[in-house]
Homo-oligomer: A and B are copies of this chain.
Amino acid sequence: MSSPAVAFATENHPRFLNELKNLLRIPSISTLPEHKPDCRRAAEFLVSELKRIGIENVRIIETQGHPLVYGDWLHAAGKPTVLIYGHYDVQPTDPIDEWLSPPFEPAERNGNLYARGAVDDKGQVWMQVKALEALLASNKSLPLNVRVLFEGEEEVGGEGIADYVASKPANLKADFALVSDTELFAPGLPTLCVGLRGMIYTELEVRGAKTDLHSGMYGGAAPNPFTAIAQIIARLKDENGHILIPGFYDDIIPPSPEELAAWRSLPFDEEHYRIAEVGSRQLVGESGYSVLERTWARPTLDVHGIPGGFTGAGAKTVIPAKAIAKVSMRLVPGMTPTKAFAQYKSYVEKIAPTGVDIDVRLIHSGDPCLIPVNNQYIQAATQALSEVWGKDTVFIRSGGSIPIVGDFDRHLGLPSVMMGFGLPDDNIHAPNEKFNLKNFELGIRSLIRFLEEAGR
């Protein structure tokens, strides 16, 4: 069907892309304190643009951390209200020397835009803003009522938005949420994500001697926190990737036979995935489960780093006083962060070797979620996507966590439509993050058509 807004977007596409590059130049790394001012600059960039395109009541909402950005347009009487969500913060850039072009100098190569945040999530936020601009510019109105809520702490747990949503403010009243922070299952395949894993991110601190000691003088008598932390980590999973925390799997709700059957019909080549995406000697994980089951519907445990001790070049013969393991677990429907953390903490305390003191801390957490596919907004999204991409829409889950989706459900009663346009090889959270330029363009078109369909 013809849409003046789609025509507007097509005409203005080069400008849209240049604006996105400006947003990507702001190094809004939420986890690094030195980038706090950059996070605010990114928020203000969005405020300014939302005002310019005609969104009303645009403002910064302060939190304990990085600010939220809010705006609305509520003149579509009798129509539903959408709450549009995205995040302007990005992951750190290390290891920096593996980037082919600097992470905050957006570069076009091979039909992609390379930059930290290109697809996670600034590029997707910008698609939302540009879809709204196209609709407002071409119709002088929107097809439904819109509220916009962007955050700057998604990569560090989203505490500010979680608190704000939990307070159920009147200005978040809506009928459904639109979340653009996911990906297509394969290039050209319209995809809706209807399930997310939850997570708990923890720190395990192990302390031995009161101070760093010389390993020659004290080796053989002083406890070594790194040896101890390795002993603990080695007992968290068995060699088949099965997590050994007692009770960890007890409450899992497995996927239905129908959902499993649908996953089996997806275009997925495990060998291609191993070579092209992961690039490892072999894949790992629980035997008896497919890769999609292992990454979408099974809990996992990963170690992200073990700071402390000597990490420089060369040699230092020290027995460090302490070591910290950054350990996270992904949770699936049926599991709760509270229970999973309690089980983890209790187990780690039990298996800790003698001679050391340990401290287990929860850094942040998010609930897993599963969206019913038969609601009218998922149906509208399916229709819009199939039309723009010329193919049937597939329903998938994601192994990642978008805690806000659970919060929207629990606190505001909103079902989420997770419509995102990343690709599996976009290197999010890694060097050389990219966004496919065609997906950026079709994504804007899809969002326009979805909002039109949802307001019909």
Q: What is the interface of chain A, defined by CB distance below 8 A to chain B?
A: 31-33, 91-92, 94-95, 98, 155-157, 197, 199, 201, 208-224, 226-227, 229-237, 239, 241, 273, 277-286, 291, 294-295, 298, 300-320, 323, 325-326, 328, 330, 353-357, 363-364, 398-401, 424, 427-432
Apart from A201-B315, A226-B306, 10 more pairs, CB < 8 Å:
A94-B312, A155-B316, A210-B280, A216-B398, A217-B398, A223-B283, A230-B234, A302-B319, A316-B326, A317-B400
Q: Known A210-B278, A214-B430, A310-B304; judge A239-B353 contact (CB<8 A).
A: yes
Q: How many copies does the complex hold?
A: 2
Q: Which residues of B sit under 8 angstroms from A303, Cβ to Cβ?
A: 224, 226-227, 230, 309
Report which of B280, B315, B330, B354 forms a contact with A364, defined as CB distance below 8 A.
B315
Q: Known A209-B278, A216-B330, A216-B401; judge A315-B224 contact (CB<8 A).
A: no
Tell me the minimal C-beta distance from A232 to chain B in angstroms: 8
Residue of B nearest to A401 (CB): B216
Q: State in angstroms the CA–CA spacing of A272 and B219 once bound together.
A: 17
Most chain B beta-carbon neighbours within 10 Å: one of A33, A201, A317, A401: A317
Q: Which residues of B sit under 8 angstroms from A310, Cβ to Cβ?
A: 92, 94, 304-305, 326
Q: Establish whether residues A226 and B32, one from each chain, have CB atoms under 8 Å apart when the complex forms.
A: no
Most chain B beta-carbon neighbours within 10 Å: one of A156, A325, A355: A355
Q: Which residues of B sit under 8 angstroms from A224, Cβ to Cβ?
A: 284, 302-303
Q: Known A226-B305, A400-B217; judge A313-B280 contact (CB<8 A).
A: no
Q: Which residues of B sit under 8 angstroms from A305, Cβ to Cβ?
A: 226, 308-311, 316, 318, 320
Q: Which residues of B sit under 8 angstroms from A401, Cβ to Cβ?
A: 216, 317
Q: Known A220-B294, A294-B221, A326-B310; judge A429-B31 contact (CB<8 A).
A: no
Q: Establish whether residues B91 and A430, one from each chain, have CB atoms under 8 Å apart when the complex forms.
A: no
Q: Establish whether residues A199 and B212, one from each chain, have CB atoms under 8 Å apart when the complex forms.
A: no
Q: Which residues of B sit under 8 angstroms from A94, Cβ to Cβ?
A: 310, 312
Q: Known A210-B280, A212-B430, A222-B284; judge A424-B318 contact (CB<8 A).
A: no
Residue of B nearest to A210 (CB): B279
Q: Establish whether residues B302 and A227, one from each chain, have CB atoms under 8 Å apart when the complex forms.
A: yes
Q: Which residues of B sit under 8 angstroms from A284, Cβ to Cβ?
A: 221-224, 354-355
Q: Known A280-B223, A283-B355, A303-B224; judge A429-B294 contact (CB<8 A).
A: no
Tell me the minimal C-beta distance from A66 to chain B in angstroms: 12
Q: Establish whether residues B304 and A316, one from each chain, have CB atoms under 8 Å apart when the complex forms.
A: yes
Q: Which residues of B sit under 8 angstroms from A432, Cβ to Cβ?
A: 211
Tell me the minimal C-beta distance from A223 to chain B in angstroms: 5
Q: Establish whether residues A201 and B317, one from each chain, have CB atoms under 8 Å apart when the complex forms.
A: yes
